[in-house]
Structure 1
Amino acid sequence: MNGLAGEERAFLETIERGPILDRTLAWSEVNSGTGNIAGVTAMAGLLADAFAALPGEIALAEPAPVEKVDAEGRPRPVEAGRHLVLRVRPGAGRRVILTGHMDTVYPASHPFQHCDWLDADTLHGPGTADMKGGLSLLLAGLAAYEQAGPTLGYDVLINSDEETGSLSSAALIAELAQGKLAALTYEPALPGGIMARARPGSGNFAAVVTGRSAHAGRNPEDGRNALVAAADLAQRLHAARRDGLTVNPARIEGGAPNNTVPDLAVLHFNMRPRGPADLAAAQAVIDTAVADVAAAHQVAIHVHGGFSRPPKPIAAPTERLFALVSRAAADLGEPMTWQDTGGVCDGNNIAACGVPVIDTMGACGGAIHSPGEFLLAGSLAARARLTALVMYRLDRHGAPV
């Protein structure tokens, strides 16, 4: 840590691994799968209590209404938890947004519910890396920064639905991102501690195909088979994948008894365009495939959903923010690199607001979204120090220009 100034060393020395790890262990034992509203509510309460140690006002924001198409092709409301917002020095002229999520991908019914140690540094447990550890180190980093005579204002947003696309928090993210000089998001680092660079966009869709039922033996020619049409649509969408656009037909619901031509099917699919031009091309792919399949099978097709995560290309301001973060990491003795990734997160939404964002400021670990998820406990204090130092240098020196 030879690159640190004396005043930087002083507040960074207040960061200890023990409290960060203790919170991580306690929070990871709380099931907060996105759909487990009781668990998400409990998690929000624990976070509110913990983040109350920082100055500012904490509020729990109501989720925006969200609908999801069910197996019968009908939009149904989806319940979501409230989102935690902390505003510190809201009147400051220069402000930052820091974001994370309290939800995990593990529902209350999932067998993966508890933590255990694989070795002295590897904590195996649900949400340890993604992102209970990230939330805990975020708090520690901000608490240390508050010891340094801060003038920078900031908002902390911890949403309850990131793992399902942040549909009920997207408007809140956009609102809080406006006018910020920089953004830090606490997704876990990539394997080896690598930071994420560019990200594709992502859209989730449900194509409701309505045909006409008929007897499968007596008069099948009078029917219009919605299941066959949905399968054709899946094939056409899958065939449209190319460099810059991934397409994943994921599930077909519907059908009918074997003696009936099915008149309803729902195709669920995901598309990930790399950049803005690919986003426009992806929408054209959907429009063309839907029109062609509807005409070929004489069915009606209604597409629900959209591109909730815009592509996140890397512009010059983000390159400069990464240079600041990278220099801070090197001065802490933790040099880092970054690379493009196929995943998406709230960093996509923030970048679309014109705010430079580094979105893998969280803990190091791996096997996220699986029963093998683990956290490298040694990264907790290191990443907390990185947060504190980056905030301090943004405060003292501003965003690099």
Structure 2
Amino acid sequence: MKFLLKFNIRILFVLFSIATLPAQNINTVEKKILKSIEQNNIEAIQFLKDVVNINSGTMNHQGVKKVGDVFGKAFEDIGFQSNWYEMSDVNRSGHLFAETSGDRGKRVLLIGHLDTVFEENSEFQEFKMINDSIAHAPGGNDMKGGNVIILFALRALAENNLLDNAQIIAAFTGDEEATGKPLTKSRYHLIEAGKRSDVALGFENSTGFDNATIARRGSSDWRVDVTGVRAHSSEIFSDDIGAGAIFEMSRILNNFYTEVKGEDFLTFNPGILLGGTLVDYNQQQSEGNVFGKSNVVSQSAVVYGGLRFISEDQKERAREKMRGIVRNSLPQTTAKVTFIDSYPAMGPTEGNLDLLDKFSQVSNDLGYPDVVAYDPLKRGAADVSFVAQYVDCMDGLGAMGNAAHTPEETVNLNTIEDLTKRAAILIYRLINE
């Protein structure tokens, strides 16, 4: 694929150019920024602990709003105007947006999310130190730690009067872990913010000081429903009865595997499969019931799965192949495939690669390693993808830790200060370009 070849060649150039770029000195203003971050780091960690201890599972609407209120107040304290956008019409809590206005330098959008995967009934609810630097923290890594990095990076700029006449939008969604539908409503404010920005930085959890994400695969769901003729099994394969629903579904899935699989960065997975005489599938709850007998030709089958892709073109190619396979039904069966859009792809554009160059220069200037592009196969979808068609994007600038989305999730507190410094200097340089 041409764009992938271009991407790989560009990465080699980035690796070479970063290694040969002369380091810029940290200027006097930037040193003041770094000093502010150092002075505020203990408070930043306490702030993180406080918001982690407020449950904000996606469906805990009051908890999400409470975390939003805490951050909203903190943004207002440093001169931002905060707004809460209710999302009750999509059965979600809402989104927090905080911004300053101006026309100096790049217009910067900073993306976080308030919700976590740990609902009110989860046993994992409390910030708890494991040792002097690591804490178990539900949502501390994904992604309340990233939110704190955004806040305290901007606070350092504000304390040094460096935000005058700069447009910065901090967008914290309240349903990243389970987006409200339709997306046209739940992502309306984020997309509009992207349209009036030049650069978007996502603060999902960091994969290391030497990596950042400049390409994310999009995600889409798909469903296949098959109908066959119910009859005694002795009549299967006859002209009137045909192959039955389960054989037809088996053919479809096997051909998906053999004919659709193969492109770089394209994956698809059938997550649940039911087939028999009677099928009752609850898509909302991801569960179902089925009845069937060995001497009855199957009448119904359903499969629900996911599709991951690096570009909209790749998504459409895969979908068209899947449609073609589904149309070629076995005798006396009918099949239908439907697709459900979720997150768009964030492709590896030249603008994203240039943004990576700038971030790597900041890293070098602060004495940290070169920063290279992280493998898109190793990351899931994220909110930054919704604005990727409008702005240059980079993600993975948030907190470090392990085991996100599990009861063993941790956040590394020793890295918060350094990650905040890199973010703050990058934002400062962007708004002064």
Cα distance between partner residues in 2 of 1:29 and 1:336: 35
SS in 1 for 2:328: helix
SS in 2 for 1:164: coil
Matched, 1:134 2:146: yes
TM superposition shift of 1:198: 2.3
Cα distance between partner residues in 1 of 2:80 and 2:322: 46
TM superposition shift of 1:181: 1.8
Cα distance between partner residues in 1 of 2:243 and 2:409: 46
Matched, 1:38 2:51: no
TM superposition shift of 1:113: 2.2
Cα distance between partner residues in 1 of 2:347 and 2:339: 26
TM superposition shift of 1:134: 0.7
Cα distance between partner residues in 2 of 1:297 and 1:27: 58
Deviations 1:206-241, CA, capped at 9 Å, x for gaps: 33x253674667988769855554454444333322
TM superposition shift of 1:48: 2.2
Cα distance between partner residues in 2 of 1:383 and 1:296: 60
- Write the mapping of 1:69-80 to structure 2, written as runs, cut at 5 A: 79-80=91-92
Matched, 1:62 2:90: no
SS in 2 for 1:14: helix
Deviations 1:225-262, CA, capped at 9 Å, x for gaps: 55554454444333322132111111135453235766
Q: Which residue of 1 aligns with 2:268?
A: 247
Cα distance between partner residues in 2 of 1:31 and 1:286: 41
Q: Which residue of 2 aligns with 1:313?
A: 347
Structure whose alpha-carbon radius of gyration is higher: 2
One-letter identity of the residue aligned with 2:36: T
User: Does the 8 Å contact 2:109/2:201 carry over to 1?
Assistant: yes
SS in 2 for 1:384: helix
Gaps of 5+ in 2: 1-22, 280-288
TM superposition shift of 1:49: 2.6
TM superposition shift of 1:185: 0.8
- TM-score normalised to the size of structure 1? 0.84
User: Does the 8 Å contact 1:216/1:258 carry over to 2?
Assistant: no
Deviations 1:353-398, CA, capped at 9 Å, x for gaps: 2x111111111222222222211111211122222211211122x1
Cα distance between partner residues in 1 of 2:273 and 2:115: 27
Cα distance between partner residues in 1 of 2:232 and 2:69: 56
Cα distance between partner residues in 2 of 1:32 and 1:252: 32
Cα distance between partner residues in 1 of 2:217 and 2:211: 17
Alignment CA distance shift 1:153-1:211 (3 Å): same
Q: Which of 212, 223, 242 in structure 2 is aligned with 1:206? A: 223
Deviations 1:280-332, CA, capped at 9 Å, x for gaps: 32121231233234x556234251402x3333222222222112211112222
Alignment CA distance shift 1:323-1:252 (3 Å): same
Gaps of 5+ in 1: 67-78
Count of aligned positions: 381
- Write the mapping of 1:62-101 to structure 2, written as runs, cut at 5 A: 62-63=86-87, 79-89=91-101, 94-101=106-113
TM superposition shift of 1:20: 1.3
Cα distance between partner residues in 2 of 1:359 and 1:340: 12
Alignment CA distance shift 1:35-1:251 (3 Å): farther
Alignment CA distance shift 1:305-1:394 (3 Å): same
Q: Which residue of 2 aligns with 1:345?
A: 382
- Write the mapping of 1:114-129 to structure 2, written as runs, cut at 5 A: 114-129=126-141
One-letter identity of the residue aligned with 1:303: T
Cα distance between partner residues in 2 of 1:325 and 1:215: 65
User: Does the 8 Å contact 1:32/1:40 carry over to 2?
Assistant: yes
Q: Which residue of 2 aligns with 1:325?
A: 359
Cα distance between partner residues in 1 of 2:292 and 2:317: 38
Cα distance between partner residues in 1 of 2:119 and 2:232: 40
Matched, 1:48 2:72: yes
Cα distance between partner residues in 1 of 2:242 and 2:324: 24
Q: Which residue of 2 aligns with 1:76?
A: none
TM superposition shift of 1:178: 0.8
- TM-score normalised to the size of structure 2? 0.78
Q: Which residue of 2 aligns with 1:103?
A: 115
Q: CA RMSD, aligned part only?
A: 2.9
Q: Which of 365, 381, 385 in structure 1 is aligned with 2:421? A: 385
Q: Which of 303, 307, 322 in structure 2 is aligned with 1:271? A: 307
User: Does the 8 Å contact 2:52/2:127 carry over to 1?
Assistant: yes
User: Does the 8 Å contact 2:85/2:96 carry over to 1?
Assistant: yes
SS in 2 for 1:40: helix
* Larger displacement relative to structure 2 (136-145 or 163-172): 163-172
User: Does the 8 Å contact 1:247/1:269 carry over to 2?
Assistant: yes
